[in-house]
Structure 1
Amino acid sequence: MLESIKCSASGAYYLRGQWVPADAQAPAALAAAGVTAEQAGQAYKGTMAYGILTAHNTSGNDRDLRIKFDAMASHDITFVGIIQTARASGLEKFPIPYVLTNCHNSLCAVGGTINEDDHRFGLSAAKKYGGIFVPPHMAVIHQYMRERFAGCGKMILGSDSHTRYGALGTMAIGEGGGELAKQLLGRTYDVARPGVVAICLTGALPAGCGPHDVAIALVGELFKSGYVKNKVMEFVGPGIASLRQDTRNAIDAMTTETTCLSSIWETDEKTRQFLTVHGRAGDYKPLHPAELAYYDGVVSVDLSKIRPMIALPMHPSNAFPIEELNANLKDILHECEENVQKLVGRSDVKLDLCSKIENGRLRVDQGVIAGCAGGLFDSIYEAASILKGHTGGCGDYALSVYPGSQPIMMELNRTGVLTDLMASGATIRTAFCGPCFGAGDVPANGALSIRHTTRNFPSREGSKPGSGQLAGVALMDARSIAATTANGGILTPATEVDYDPTVPEYHYDPSSYEARVYQGFGHGDYDALLKLGPNIKDWPEIAPLGDNLLLKVASYITDPVTTTDELIPSGETSSYRSNPLGLAEFTLSRKDPAYVGRAKAVQAEEAARRAGQGDAALLAKIRAVPGCEALTWDDVQLASTIFAVKPGDGSAREQAASCQRVLGPGPTSSTSTPPSVTAPTSSTGACCPSSSTVRLPSA
């Protein structure tokens, strides 16, 4: 356990700024402070999360919540499928502000015109249904929502995992597209009231430490233990005041990697200033726990003890202080290599990290500062301060910087930061999320990239182990990436660099948004036609399930976790996410390439059954099952499924399930309308539960 972070062994009461452990002594301690047993029993209502959830709950029951959100956001990997699903289910107009950003497929690098066709579809949908359309290169999804929509006490739903705006007083949740389609149809987000864990911040960060150092430390401590899994992380404590608002926002973006449901922070004058600068002073209100609040756990974070961190391949929780890594390079890197080898599951490809040790230090090949976590003004400004007068050289090492929005880019330009960065040899990109999922700055085979981005899952940097290509990403804060760059690519924590960490007051210029963002909420042209490209396909019609279903396992995976990137790869496949059948061809391509063929074989068997040509020998096996003696092929359907220990970890992408949905039971038509939003979204890919699922006797 890191010295800077400690987790309580039990729940705790927050009583007028003091913590009372919920142990055997708690009743007496609370009574001594004048708290009755009844008040203690209702203390769960004192959290900020409870108040916001209750204000958005339509069920009248504070245990079983039916949430309606204030706004929603999607990007160009997900919005086509969401709108197509809602359209097939009766969509007439967007009932709440729905922001369609174009920050994932904005390069239009794969598949001809299909990415730009998706963008054109998004604009036509915004015009037809009354939406907000943010063109490519203008802003990454979460920075736009921070600048334009997040506000104290609000709730926002997004079809991206890192939908987190808690540091601005907004409870935000990243979900699969089916949940957004439900909101578009006036339905609710249904969830049991989540537990709430306090993240109590004290102290102040040392110079050279930034938001990713805090975030990686938190993920390293909380992910594996499941301490906050499906709970709300509620940030409280005096340490919040020491953090700039950009720092809070960047830490908050990474709470997704702890597996929590959502997050919320206490707000203060810095929050007010952020909203005021962005022209939304009216969206501020102070948020604090009540004088008495109950939390399911307490994570104590001493910011003064945070040190520059690194998350080695291939997970944000593979966290080490850089000082510790540098002191034990060979041992830690060798263990990392072995874990990567197990994760990749191939003997013909290897990530050789130990060969990168030079004179006892680690040489890296690339640096990237980007996205909703790294592309913020403060982090880029400090990185430029560290780099000023230095360069990464003209060898293999290269640094790329992606400001998170056009307004941030304009302010970096106004303050001269872009010039300083370019003078140091860094290349400046537009707002783009590609480095987070393998579609931007893909490193060379065998290379190690250090990134202030959100994820370093397998192949999130763009490599393809099945083709013999394997690279690695380590997550770090922008400040230490800059320090490493200034040291010619030799891993260096920013605490070893003498620089001025002062960041000037931020000036927000919305003129680029005013000139290019389409603002259509509330005034759609509801009779207009959508603009459909050749790759934009309706959902295939899928036959309704009958009473009896025979499932054949088409893939058997025993890994502890199967991520969505293994179920359906990121990167080049993103271009096909408007085409359910086309995308399904990539399912499990990096984990089990034979899966699609096996699933299609089961589909063929089901087609033969429907045509009256079912396998007689198989029917005989079914009839051997007690209670199934009288079944005929008219009574039983065939479908495929996969077996996995923990499938679908680490993303909100519903395509990880939809691909198996169209391959599992099998479409009856490729041109008809999509199914209702009640179609299953379980990432196991199994069909809807039938009243009877046939289990065949073992051979």
Structure 2
Amino acid sequence: DSSAALDQQEVFNKERAYKETMAYRILMDHQQHEGDQDLRIKFDALTSHDITYVGIIQTAIASGLDKFPIPYILTNCHNSLAAVGGTINEDDHVFGLSAVQRFGGVYVPPHLAVIHQYMRETMAGCGKMILGSDSHTRYGALGTMAIGEGGPELVKQLLGRTYDVQRPEVIAIYLDGKPKHGIGPQDVALAIEKAVFKNGFVKNKVMEFVGPGIEHLSMDFRNGIDVMTTETTCLTTIWRTDSNTKEFLTLHGRGDAYKELNPGDVAYYDGLVKVNLDEVESMIAMPFHPSNVYTIKEINEGGRDLLAEIERQAVEQLDNKSLSLQLPEKHFDGKLHLDQGIIVGCSGGLYENIMQAANIVRGKSVGSGRFAFSVYPSSQPIYLELMKNGALVDLMSAGAIVRTAFCGPCFGAGDTPNNTGLSGRHATRNFPNREGSKPGN
């Protein structure tokens, strides 16, 4: 009847409910302009690594920079181990240090942290916004809306300008249930990517993580999912926060950076992805995109025929259509076999991931044949904790090579596999020419 319709109208007001998402509130807190459609955003902090910060700072200097107006963190995790012609890497680092000494900011020496783990441990906080010149700038699990952009957008922030964008749509990522034993954050992330990448469901939108499943996930688990959202093509992310978030920030000496974030009682979203965590299987992304996802069971049971089809589709993406990747040859004794295993970076090199790997290989050996196994803890504090609790002993006794914090394997600058070698990487992506040699293009 009309009275019931009126009551319903009073309960749900679409325009009001739009404003009850966590994303809307944080964006409005950083809006420098009247209205809520055309956003003019100023960020709380900036971050760059040693492939991007030189050009950004030089451009800003040429445009009149006299000091960094907000904290600017310069990490040295990309040009660290990949020598490219003479002294270019170390010259970049000296430039970065001199810039911090002149303009302010924070300089993180080589090998101490990958960019995003440093930001999680020292800068992210609930309700903040951070802009980074790296695609995987994502700290949503810590209540921070972080965006990865090209260098010119950081230059604008350094010069007091704004980040100008239409207010993005917000998609709820509703997590329910609890992951099964042996299921990790990358499995969940890959399952989401498979569902939303090809149809563009979250492209340039905010992924807002809600639902009862969040409480069953540790902070490392949440961070591992969160940083992989870059591969969905979303703009940024934000998560509900809780006691796990508070504990993480407190342990890192920043308890005051915590506040509880939740959507309002009635919040309106532009779409929803429901993730049943208890149904997620062990996943693997095959060449050449993180959305080209199969369960590991499918790969093993599909055998050489499935791998031949995966190779056919993969080669179609390459310049040389006559290349042979020899994927089918990697399947024998009923399973897919690898030539190399890597655990690395802002998604793989997290404490819990490496602890699980250490538990798996304890008392075993990776052998002295073709298989190579490298582990890169994502920060020196993580490295130290693994050293103290004996996990590094388990890994190294099994034949793993434990390296310093470095992003290289994520962009083809470290542990490059041999031609036709198959590398299994607990990392963010598997794009063509990102990880591996390219004979004959």
Q: If the length of structure 1 is used for normalisation, what is the TM-score?
A: 0.62
Task: Name the counterpart of 1:511.
Answer: none
Task: Name the counterpart of 2:226.
Answer: 252
- Which residue identity lines up with residue 319 of structure 1 in the other structure? V
Task: Name the counterpart of 2:364.
Answer: 390
Q: Is the 8 A contact 1:46 1:289 kept in 2?
A: yes
Secondary structure of the structure 1 residue equivalent to 2:428: coil
Secondary structure of the structure 2 residue equivalent to 1:292: coil
Task: Name the counterpart of 1:350.
Answer: 324
Task: Name the counterpart of 2:405.
Answer: 431
Q: Is the 8 A contact 2:30 2:43 kept in 1?
A: yes
When Rg is computed on C-alpha atoms for both structures, the one with the higher figure is: 1
Secondary structure of the structure 1 residue equivalent to 2:100: helix
Residues 1:165 and 2:139 are matched in the alignment: yes
Q: Is the 8 A contact 2:82 2:413 kept in 1?
A: no
Residues 1:74 and 2:52 are matched in the alignment: no
Residues 1:339 and 2:310 are matched in the alignment: no
Once the two structures are TM-superposed, the CA of residue 328 in structure 1 deviates from its matched residue by 1.0
Task: Name the counterpart of 2:278.
Answer: 304
Task: Name the counterpart of 1:200.
Answer: 174
Which of 386, 392, 396 is the aligned partner of 1:422? 396
- Which residue identity lines up with residue 167 of structure 2 in the other structure? R
Task: Name the counterpart of 2:164.
Answer: 190
Task: Name the counterpart of 2:58.
Answer: 84
Secondary structure of the structure 2 residue equivalent to 1:294: coil
Q: If the length of structure 2 is used for normalisation, what is the TM-score?
A: 0.98
Residues 1:42 and 2:16 are matched in the alignment: yes
Per the alignment, do residues 334 and 40 of structure 1 end up closer, same or farther by CA in structure 2, a change over 3 Å counting?
same
Q: Is the 8 A contact 1:108 1:114 kept in 2?
A: no
Once the two structures are TM-superposed, the CA of residue 38 in structure 1 deviates from its matched residue by 7.2
Which of 408, 414, 438 is the aligned partner of 1:440? 414
Q: Aligned partners of 1:451 and 1:96: how far apart in 2?
A: 35
Which of 400, 412, 419 is the aligned partner of 2:374? 400
Once the two structures are TM-superposed, the CA of residue 324 in structure 1 deviates from its matched residue by 1.4
Q: Is the 8 A contact 1:75 1:141 kept in 2?
A: yes
Per the alignment, do residues 234 and 84 of structure 1 end up closer, same or farther by CA in structure 2, a change over 3 Å counting?
same
- Which residue identity lines up with residue 368 of structure 1 in the other structure? I
Once the two structures are TM-superposed, the CA of residue 358 in structure 1 deviates from its matched residue by 1.1
Residues 1:155 and 2:129 are matched in the alignment: yes
Per the alignment, do residues 389 and 358 of structure 1 end up closer, same or farther by CA in structure 2, a change over 3 Å counting?
same
Q: Is the 8 A contact 1:76 1:118 kept in 2?
A: yes
Task: Name the counterpart of 1:221.
Answer: 195
Q: Aligned partners of 1:45 and 1:30: how far apart in 2?
A: 24
Q: Aligned partners of 1:463 and 1:83: how far apart in 2?
A: 32
Once the two structures are TM-superposed, the CA of residue 119 in structure 1 deviates from its matched residue by 0.5
Once the two structures are TM-superposed, the CA of residue 393 in structure 1 deviates from its matched residue by 1.2
Task: Name the counterpart of 1:179.
Answer: 153
Q: Is the 8 A contact 1:349 1:465 kept in 2?
A: no
Equivalence map 1:475-486=2 (5 Å)? none
Secondary structure of the structure 2 residue equivalent to 1:142: helix
Q: Aligned partners of 1:182 and 1:428: how far apart in 2?
A: 39
Task: Name the counterpart of 1:495.
Answer: none
Q: Is the 8 A contact 2:54 2:95 kept in 1?
A: yes
Task: Name the counterpart of 1:372.
Answer: 346
Task: Name the counterpart of 2:183.
Answer: 209
Number of equivalences = 441
- Which residue identity lines up with residue 312 of structure 1 in the other structure? M
Task: Name the counterpart of 1:240.
Answer: 214
Which of 120, 128, 133 is the aligned partner of 2:102? 128
Describe the superposition over 1:294-338 as per-residue Cα deviations: whole angstroms up to 9, x where unpaired.
001110000000110000011000001111111112232111111
Describe the superposition over 1:644-675 as per-residue Cα deviations: whole angstroms up to 9, x where unpaired.
xxxxxxxxxxxxxxxxxxxxxxxxxxxxxxxx
Once the two structures are TM-superposed, the CA of residue 41 in structure 1 deviates from its matched residue by 2.8
Q: Aligned partners of 1:29 and 1:378: how far apart in 2?
A: 55
Structure 1 gaps, min length 5: 1-26, 468-699
Secondary structure of the structure 1 residue equivalent to 2:171: strand
Q: Is the 8 A contact 2:419 2:438 kept in 1?
A: no
Task: Name the counterpart of 2:245.
Answer: 271
Once the two structures are TM-superposed, the CA of residue 39 in structure 1 deviates from its matched residue by 2.3
Q: Is the 8 A contact 1:199 1:235 kept in 2?
A: yes
Q: Aligned partners of 2:4 and 2:341: how far apart in 1?
A: 52
Secondary structure of the structure 1 residue equivalent to 2:267: strand
Q: Is the 8 A contact 2:59 2:155 kept in 1?
A: yes
Equivalence map 1:250-649=2 (5 Å)? 250-466=224-440
Q: Aligned partners of 1:360 and 1:416: how far apart in 2?
A: 34
- Which residue identity lines up with residue 274 of structure 1 in the other structure? F
Secondary structure of the structure 2 residue equivalent to 1:65: strand
Q: Aligned partners of 1:129 and 1:69: how far apart in 2?
A: 18
Once the two structures are TM-superposed, the CA of residue 37 in structure 1 deviates from its matched residue by 7.5
Per the alignment, do residues 293 and 218 of structure 1 end up closer, same or farther by CA in structure 2, a change over 3 Å counting?
same
Which of 100, 109, 113 is the aligned partner of 2:83? 109
Q: Aligned partners of 1:242 and 1:41: how far apart in 2?
A: 32
- Which residue identity lines up with residue 253 of structure 1 in the other structure? V
Per the alignment, do residues 398 and 294 of structure 1 end up closer, same or farther by CA in structure 2, a change over 3 Å counting?
same
Q: Aligned partners of 2:149 and 2:115: how far apart in 1?
A: 14
Per the alignment, do residues 128 and 208 of structure 1 end up closer, same or farther by CA in structure 2, a change over 3 Å counting?
same
Moved over 3 A (4+): 27-35
